[in-house]
């Protein structure tokens, strides 16, 4: 499905990546769409994944500007 959106790389992070997710947990993603990416592309990916998975999806594009948040993502990130 992510190939439909020209995703170069996608990684999960957060509670799902750590195996600590519970009912109601969201799915956190970092997705690389290349230099031509637009914010609307992220919204489309979130909507499509939410429809299929039935959970809230929170997607982000690199580079991550918040240093603390970026370190958290790097520690947790798992390729999908």
Active-site residues: which are they? 26, 28
- C-beta of residue 12 within 8 angstroms of C-beta of residue 58: no
């Amino acid at each position: 499905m992510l190939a439909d959106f020209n995703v170069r790389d996608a990684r999960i992070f957060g509670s799902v990546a750590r195996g600590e997710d519970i009912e109601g947990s969201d799915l956190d993603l970092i997705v690389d769409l290349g230099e031509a990416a637009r914010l609307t592309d992220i919204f489309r990916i979130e909507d499509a994944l939410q429809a299929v998975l039935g959970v809230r999806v929170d997607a982000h594009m690199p580079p991550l500007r918040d240093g603390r948040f970026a370190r958290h993502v790097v520690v947790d990130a798992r390729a999908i």
